[in-house]
Copies of this chain bind each other. A is one copy, B any other.
């Protein structure tokens, strides 16, 4: 059996209360007493029992992070930032992978894991506003990504529409006119894909250009292979007018598309310029390096953890929405 506060108290010749005071840095403890207790703690190698403390306190010091999967670089990097931000606040992160599966995303909201964490940072892919009614309003929750639920819930969002619009405008500014968009999810209304396409369309309309469905590359998951496939199909089906630019709705799509272009002997950026979204680390090392819409992941992570903690500790007022700033990181794939 592990040593308990009782053991420490006995050895130090004090009560458990005093040991607790020392362990919790309660200020009104005599120096001498504190030292005696510390000595006993070290001698016994005492470690506090987290379960007992949590039970008594009614909090666990752990938060959940639900995301599709860590093998997608964007989510791995996001998780890295969230874990770091949580650590700064003395919180520990439990990761749950939903596989972008609807049932598992719902389960993350209700499952038994909820009781061992104080709250959840949640990055859903398959859920939409129609699921809001299923939201348990009791456990603290912060939505990450686009705003899929009403203002009843804390959100940290990415300004998807504006950023995609800026990315498209950037390509237009380079004189490009036939901009393919890769990663479209037909039928989607509130997800990242839908919002970014919306921004793309707005930019074209701003420029007085028509929308051309032949330039929409539809895919399922947002991986490299999907990006390559989509641009491949697009090139095969409309050999008449080559696009002169590609907007990948995320970086892995853009990298896959860039790959496929080069395989076909199409030069990037000379013949076709390419821009991505998210600015994952890989964008700095692809060939050519990839221009991308940059978000400060640390800012997003900090914001999410802060919102969640405020709600956990009850010092949160009305639900808030944090919007992350963005900028375009110019690299070689657009001739930068």
Q: A51-B54, A115-B48, A225-B285 are in contact. Are A69 and B62 (CB under 8 A)?
A: no
A322: interface (CB < 8 Å): no
B83→A76 contact, CB < 8 A: no
Chain A, interface residues (CB within 8 Å), range = 35 or more
B55→A51 contact, CB < 8 A: yes
A259→B287 contact, CB < 8 A: yes
- The segment out of A90-98, A187-195, A198-206, A311-319 that lies at the interface is A90-98
B116→A92 contact, CB < 8 A: yes
A49: interface (CB < 8 Å): yes
A70→B50 contact, CB < 8 A: no
A70→B62 contact, CB < 8 A: no
B50→A116 contact, CB < 8 A: yes
Give A107 to B80 CA distance when docked, in angstroms: 18
B62→A71 contact, CB < 8 A: no
A80→B73 contact, CB < 8 A: no
Q: A51-B55, A95-B83, A95-B95 are in contact. Are A287 and B285 (CB under 8 A)?
A: no
B80→A97 contact, CB < 8 A: yes
B97→A83 contact, CB < 8 A: yes
Give A117 to B282 CA distance when docked, in angstroms: 33
Q: Inside 8 A of A224's CB, which chain B residues have their CB?
A: 281-282, 284-285
A114: interface (CB < 8 Å): yes
Q: 1/0 contact trace for A76-102 toward B, CB 8 Å?
A: 110110011001000011111100000
A60: interface (CB < 8 Å): yes
Q: A282-B282, A285-B256 are in contact. Are A83 and B70 (CB under 8 A)?
A: yes
Give A333 to B8 CA distance when docked, in angstroms: 62
Number of copies: 2
A15: interface (CB < 8 Å): no
From the candidates B50, B51, B87, B287, name the one contacting A262 in the complex (CB within 8 A).
Answer: B287
A113: interface (CB < 8 Å): yes
Closest Cβ neighbor of A297 among chain B residues: B71
From the candidates B48, B96, B115, B285, name the one contacting A112 in the complex (CB within 8 A).
Answer: B48
Q: How far is the CB of A53 from chain B (nearest CB, A)?
A: 8
Interface hits, A205-228 → B, CB 8 Å = 224-225, 228
A115→B80 contact, CB < 8 A: no
From the candidates B45, B62, B285, name the one contacting A228 in the complex (CB within 8 A).
Answer: B285
Q: Inside 8 A of A76's CB, which chain B residues have their CB?
A: 70-71, 73, 76, 79
Give A310 to B136 CA distance when docked, in angstroms: 36
Starting from the known contacts A83-B96, A255-B285, A282-B282, 6 additional A-B residue pairs (CB-CB under 8 Å) come to A70-B77, A73-B76, A93-B95, A225-B285, A256-B285, A263-B287
Q: List the interface of chain A (C-beta within 8 A of B).
A: 2, 45, 47-52, 54-55, 60-62, 69-71, 73, 76-77, 79-80, 83-84, 87, 92-97, 112-116, 136, 138, 224-225, 228, 255-256, 259, 262-263, 281-282, 284-285, 287
Nearest 5 pairs of A and B residues by beta carbon: A76-B76, A50-B116, A51-B54, A224-B285, A51-B55
